[in-house]
Amino acid sequence: MIHAIGTDLVELERIKSIGIDRFKDKILNEDEKNEYAKINHENRKLTYLAGRFAVKESLFKCFKAGDKTANYKDFSVLNDNVGAPYVLSKHTTDFVVHITISHTNLYAIAFVVLETKV
């Protein structure tokens, strides 16, 4: 059963204006920073950050009635062996989390569905 949905659209230019390194330190946890460090292309680093931010904002929208203590680093948005994103977090243990991330030259978007475990 679907518990909640969330979506977020991120302007890549907004992240650039904040500063990629500053933004990285604000939203990525250690597992994500390890993956980020393997990226060589600057534009791919930007879309990686924007996509992770969009997923985390989407998750916060799903938890709108939650305890409000979660922060960006509480969620790991990683990729499986075929590149599909997935989420690890103590806040999602009661749910199956379905996510998708997409990018253009200007934006990144994420869509999240929280499904109650049966």
pLDDT tens track for 21-76: 999 999 999 999 999 999 999 999 999 999 999 999 999 999 886 566 789 999 99
- Report pTM: 0.93
What are the residue ranges of helices labelled H in the chain?
12-18, 20-27, 30-37, 42-62
Report the DSSP beta bridge partners of residue 4: 114
What are the distances in angstroms from CA 3 to CA 50, 52, 76, 77? 25, 21, 20, 20
Residue type, 7: T
Average pLDDT, the chain: 94
Among 111, 60, 101, smallest CA distance to 78 is for 101
Three-state SS at 69: coil
pLDDT class of 96 with cuts at 50, 70, 90: very high
pLDDT of residue 66: 59
Q: Which active-site residues does the annotation give?
A: 61, 103
% pLDDT > 90, the chain: 91
Residues contacting 100, CB < 8 A, separation 6+: 85, 110, 111
| End-to-end alpha carbon distance in the chain | 8
